[in-house]
Amino acid sequence: MKTMRIAIVGSASSGKTTLAQALAERYRDVWVPEYLREFVELRRRVPVEGDQLHIAETQAAREDLAMARAGRFVFCDTTPLMTAVYSRHYFGRVDPRLEQLVAARRYDVTLACAPDIPWTPDGLCREPEDQSAPVNAILAEELAARAIAHVRIHGPLEERLRQVEEVLGRG
């Protein structure tokens, strides 16, 4: 049986982590936490443009490692695509090597989390105010430009889980 790699994308505070953890629990499988959080905690600073490729490469490497220990699914709490989205948002461009990494990554299903839950600062110190609208606009552009099929996930957690279950089947 092939392990499916599930991308969970969306702006900060859109419920990606909560959804990834809940899906891993529901399906009794593996999730890959967002490396950016660890990066910021360890370095005690927000990333600069030169950090973006490292962050995306580390995220991708952790996804690949998770594939080896997974059953049916690997739930990816963000992807290199989101690093590219944030690069466009904060730095106005995407490093060509990051662009190549994003283009090379494949996911079986992409779940795009709507920013319809209350926004709260996540402690990363990067976004002292809600940046959901511009980030989600860039994400929508990127998904369309890359022809990435995706399912928009919205509502409270139980509703989100029900929507994902319609796509993936019962746990």
pLDDT per residue rounded down to tens, the chain (171 residues): 799 999 999 998 899 999 999 999 999 999 999 999 999 999 999 899 999 999 999 999 999 999 999 999 999 999 999 999 999 999 999 999 999 999 999 999 999 999 888 766 666 555 556 788 899 999 999 999 999 999 999 999 999 999 999 999 876
Instruction: Give the residue ranges of DSSP H helices in 70-149.
Output: 80-91, 96-104, 132-145
pTM of the entire structure?
0.94
Whether residue 67 contacts residue 162, with contact meaning beta carbons closer than 8 Å, is answered with: no
How far CA 54 is from CA of 12, 34, 66, 170, in Å, comes to 19, 13, 18, 36
Topology adopted by domain 4-168: Rossmann fold (3.40.50)
CA atoms within 13 A on the CB side of 34: 26
Give the three-state DSSP class for 124: coil
For residues 44 and 91, give the distance between their C-alpha atoms in angstroms, rounded to a whole number: 20
